[in-house]
Amino acid sequence: MNPQCARCGKVVYPTEKVNCLDKYWHKGCFHCEVCKMALNMNNYKGYEKKPYCNALLLEGLEGYWDQYVPSGLMQPSLLE
Ligand SMILES: [Zn+2]
Ligand SMILES: [Zn+2]
């Protein structure tokens, strides 16, 4: 039995599976929530079970974060 993709809801087959954040994703569906950059197991940052890119979380993202993430959430510097 194959799991469903956390992004698109379609079945994920083993060849295209990414197991991250307690969910399964198609490789193509595992991208940054904000900028849509493709991610992999080595460069993603998880936050509230969603993947974000390093660039977004570590660099110049103050405006970015305020703009895209609802207020009241932790600042990215507190992640990990
Ligand atoms: Zn998918
Ligand atoms: Zn990003």
- Span 25-70, pLDDT tens digits: 999 999 998 889 999 888 888 877 889 887 766 655 555 555 555 5
C-alpha 7 – ligand 1 centre gap (Å): 5
Tens digit of each residue's pLDDT (9 = 90 or more) over 3-32: 999 999 999 999 999 999 999 999 999 999
pLDDT of residue 63: 57
> To which residue do tokens 């990414």 refer?
18
The tokens of 64 are what? Answer: 């970015």
Prediction pTM value: 0.70
- Residue intervals of the chain classified under CATH 2.10.110.10 are 1-30
In the reported structure, the alpha carbon of residue 2 is separated from the centroid of ligand 2 by a whole-number distance in angstroms of 28
CATH of domain 1-30: 2.10.110.10
Q: Give residue 1 CA to ligand 2 midpoint distance, Å.
A: 32
Residue in 35, 41, 40, 48 with CA at minimum distance from that of residue 80: 48
Residues whose beta carbons lie less than 5 angstroms from ion ligand 2: 32, 34-35, 37, 53, 56
